Amino acid sequence: EISGAILAMDPLTGRILAEVGGFSYDQSQFNRATQALRQPGSSFKPAVYLTWFDQLNKTPMNIFWDTSPLTVEGTAITNPRSGEPKSEGLISARAALGGSQNVGAFRAAQEAGVDNVIAMAKKLGITTLEQNFDPTFHSHPDISYGASIATGGANIRAIDMAYMNATIANMG
């Protein structure tokens, strides 16, 4: 059977209104909503842009170059769209976030600093995001996050993402 998770939260109070942690408690007591670590993908980008705004005194209307693909250390960062062109040229942070542009998020994380993005994520309610965090709880000091965190390359619980979104919706 396929299992997944869902959380519904009141953003004003943080109260969990509904939670499903898997397909069948009889088959597995593992609660995917509160225990599973998954990569959040683009849903993490608001934390990146909030950090960019905060650290560099930027606004949603500030612009930067969207040059897709952006090559960093031999890896191509591209925007998630089919066809051409893949880049927008000059783009506002608002448009980049609204269009889920990977290049903009990556640049914002680099400029603001990955450690600052992690600190902002903690302020927003993410508890599983630490440099050197290992979900197996074994000592692996080489595990760390880089700018790929901007495109969701991190291990985060669904409940933490719900807290982050509730914090943003509640204006902090």
The kind and range of the H/E element at 157 are strand 156-157
Question: Residue 138 pLDDT more than 60?
Answer: no
Q: Please give the Cα distance from 55 to 125 (Å, whole number).
A: 18
Check pLDDT > 80 for residue 1: no
Cα(157)–Cα(155) distance, integer angstroms? 7
**How many Å apart are CA 19 and CA 6, to the nearest integer?**
6
The stretch 116-121 carries a mean pLDDT of 93
61-86 burial, b if ≥16 CB within 10 A, otherwise e? Answer: eebbebbbebeeeeeebebeeeeeeb
Does residue 125 register a pLDDT over 60?
yes
**167 or 76, which is more confident:** 167
pLDDT in tens, 22-54: 998 888 888 999 888 888 999 999 999 999 999
Joined tokens for residue 75: 């890896």
pLDDT reported for residue 119: 93
Residues 6 or more apart whose Cβ sits within 8 Å of residue 29: none
Give the pTM. Answer: 0.86
Residue 130 has a pLDDT of: 63
Average pLDDT value over all residues in the chain: 85
Instruction: Indicate whether 14 pLDDT > 60.
Output: yes
